[in-house]
Amino acid sequence: MQRQINAFLKEWMGVRHVVHRLHFNRAHQDGLSATQYAVLSRLSSQETPWTAKLLASALQLDPSTLTRTLASLDKRGFIERVRDQADRRSWGLALSKSGEAAIEEADARLKSDLVRIFRAMSAKEREGLIDGLEAFVKSADDILSGNPPTGKPGGQHGK
């Protein structure tokens, strides 16, 4: 098992490097910093507006970093402040139409890059990757949630 853990950690670092490069490249092509891209991406992940406090927590950002990032995104017209319907004294953050367009463009570029990467792999390798990741996430979620592992193989994507 130690050999597998070492191999996993090595490959995990490789995956992190590739994902970071993909994120940086697509953000950079749109003139966005990685932090700006992360904020736009998170804002696009739900219909209801985010509070700055929840956004900072979700992205693990220092509030001062988030404040600067939001100011630059607001200046570019990518976000808008919307009044909370439940508490009219509060304001939330949401993507503007141009923010939605920016994130859609960046996501299309990412998917295009992933298509090229996946085409370089066999169908069996792609399925194995997806099955392995599904099993890893399920096992990790179970263990981190305090549930005992089942010992059953996970995955079964597309089967």
Q: Could you please state the CATH topology (level 3) that the domain comprising 2-120 is classified under.
A: Arc Repressor Mutant, subunit A (1.10.10)
Break the chain into its structural domains and give their ranges: 2-120
Phi, psi (rounded to 5 degrees) for 94? -145, 165
Quote the pLDDT of residue 69. Answer: 96
Tokens matching residue 93? 């953050």
Quote the pLDDT of residue 28. Answer: 72
Q: What is the pLDDT of residues 116-157, one digit of tens each?
A: 999 999 999 999 999 999 999 999 999 998 887 666 555 444
CA 75 to the chain's CA centroid: 24
Q: What is the pLDDT of residues 49-87, one digit of tens each?
A: 898 999 999 999 999 999 999 999 999 999 999 887 777
Query: What's the pLDDT band for 158 if we cut at 50, 70, 90?
Result: very low
DSSP for 50-110 reads BPHHHHHHHHT--HHHHHHHHHHHHHTT-EEEEE-SS-TT-EEEEE-HHHHHHHHHHHHHH
Task: Give the mean pLDDT of 16-29.
Answer: 77
The answer, as to whether pTM is greater than 0.85, is no
Instruction: Report d(CA 16, CA 14) in Å as an integer.
Output: 5
Q: Residues 76, 91: contact at Cβ < 8 Å? A: no
Quote the pLDDT of residue 123. Answer: 96
